[in-house]
Amino acid sequence: MRAVRYIDKETGTAVSDVPDPSPGPDDVVIAVEACGLCGSDVHSVQNGQCAPGQILGHEFSGRIVAVGSNVTGWAEGQPVAASPLGSCGKCRICVRGMPFRCPAAPNIGVTCQGAYAEYAAVPARQLVALPPELPVELGSHAEPLSVGTQAVKLASVGPGDPVLVYGVGPIGLYAIMALRLAGAGPIVAAGRSAGRRAAAADVGADVVIDTREISVEEYAAQSGTRFAAVLECSAAPGAFTEGLAVLEPGGTCVEVALTPEIASLPLFGMLSEGLHLVGACAFSDETYRESVAHIAAGRVPVERLVSERVSLDETPDALRRLQTPGSLVRILSRPGQ
Ligand SMILES: [Zn+2]
Ligand SMILES: [Zn+2]
């Protein structure tokens, strides 16, 4: 098959021929319909953090083309979304809802071969069926929607709760959709890119501020707003600490963006205001199933985020272009294109 593989830090990725994956006893092989280009892939290529030959890509959907010998309940031709998170489902970490930290199995497109390819092998327990009438491509939004949804769950917000989404990259935008599903609001989105701020309004933010013109703290002071939760999706230096400053008593600051920053925290303010600090990474299996159900029911306008669809041959260049995304929101790699 043809696949996009990591070469080295200078080259980035390139398309080459590799052996087709064959299903292990508990796996299926799916023909990839679509795989979203994720910022974490862009950064790991840019920073040279992949193993040579690694096939990235973990936000995908497709149709089953081969079924392992132990697999029951799945059939060739069936459309599926696939969680990339390998897990046993039984250990303490899995029971806690953190399959991505389970030591038993690798994560697809991160620690084993991924889905910027014509085919991908997936353990059957990571599959969720898509309704036959749904465009299969839509299943590729389930992974990033799950990241946003998990962050919203950890924020413990509901109807009438004002929430700040700091950063309007793809994860911030999926988080806005998840906040709307939770009934939270008003939702204030803060970001720099004009195109992505427009997308934030389009998918459900009530107020969108341009952080090049007004800081989050200035906005909060001027509008008299304090937030029940801040979802830090920007990785902008100082954003987490700034988010803490605009929380109401008892509020929650959720770090969602991947950042190496070491933040200094106002501990007295944290205790006197009763603030909650939490990190959100990936999602539980339950959240993934819920995300697929929301997409299948048409409750989230995920397709509005798609800026471009590219072929496998165009995927290495698209990963490069996303290093400076500008107004680009989401690019889907479509091997059949
Ligand atoms: Zn991702
Ligand atoms: Zn486990």
CA of 291 to the centre of ligand 2 (A): 21
CA of 175 to the centre of ligand 1 (A): 13
pLDDT tens digits for range 58-89 = 999 999 999 999 999 999 999 999 999 999 99
Query: Percent of the chain at pLDDT above 90?
Result: 98
> What DSSP assignment string belongs to 263-329?
----HHHHHHHT-EEEE--S--HHHHHHHHHHHHTT-S-GGGGEEEEE-TTTHHHHHHHTTS-TT--
As a whole number of angstroms, the distance between CA 46 and CA 36 comes to 17
As a whole number of angstroms, the distance between CA 175 and CA 204 comes to 10
Q: Which ligand is nearest to the CA of 57?
A: 1
Q: What is the mean pLDDT of residues 156-160?
A: 96
Residue 24, classed as helix, strand or coil, is coil
CA of 84 to the centre of ligand 2 (A): 14
CA of 279 to the centre of ligand 1 (A): 16
As a whole number of angstroms, the distance between CA 119 and CA 273 comes to 51
Q: Which ligand is nearest to the CA of 140?
A: 1
CA of 33 to the centre of ligand 2 (A): 28
CA of 60 to the centre of ligand 1 (A): 10
As a whole number of angstroms, the distance between CA 209 and CA 201 comes to 10
As a whole number of angstroms, the distance between CA 206 and CA 229 comes to 15
CA of 103 to the centre of ligand 2 (A): 6
Tell me which amino acid residue 43 is: H
φ, ψ dihedrals at 34, nearest 5°: -155, 145
pLDDT tens digits for range 84-139 = 999 999 999 999 999 999 999 999 999 999 999 999 999 999 999 999 999 999 99
> What DSSP assignment string belongs to 226-254?
-EEEEEE-S--TTHHHHHHHTEEEEEEEE
Q: Which ligand is nearest to the CA of 97?
A: 2
Query: In this structure, what token pair is assigned to residue 150?
Result: 């998990």
CA of 146 to the centre of ligand 1 (A): 10
Q: Indicate the pLDDT class of residue 308, thresholds 50, 70 and 90.
A: very high
Work out the number of other CB atoms within 10 angstroms of the CB of residue 335: 26
Taking ligand 2, which is a single-atom ion, which protein residues have CB atoms under 5 Å away?
Answer: 87-88, 91, 94, 102, 104
Helix axes 170-182, 142-155, angle to 10 degrees: 60
CA of 169 to the centre of ligand 2 (A): 30
Average pLDDT, the chain: 97
CA of 86 to the centre of ligand 2 (A): 8
Per DSSP (E only), the strands in the chain are 2-8, 12-17, 27-36, 60-67, 79-82, 119-123, 127-129, 163-166, 187-191, 207-210, 227-232, 247-255, 276-279, 306-310, 330-333
CA of 95 to the centre of ligand 2 (A): 7
pLDDT tens digits for range 204-259 = 999 999 999 999 999 999 999 999 999 999 999 999 999 999 999 999 999 999 99
* Burial group, residue 200, by CB count within 10 angstroms (0-12, 13-18, 19+): buried
CA of 58 to the centre of ligand 1 (A): 6
Burial 45-83, CB ≥16 within 10 A → b, else e: beeeebeeebbbbbbbbbbbbbbbeebeeeeeebbbbbb
Q: Indicate the pLDDT class of residue 337, thresholds 50, 70 and 90.
A: confident
pLDDT tens digits for range 258-282 = 999 999 999 999 999 999 999 999 9
Residue 217 is predicted with a pLDDT of 97
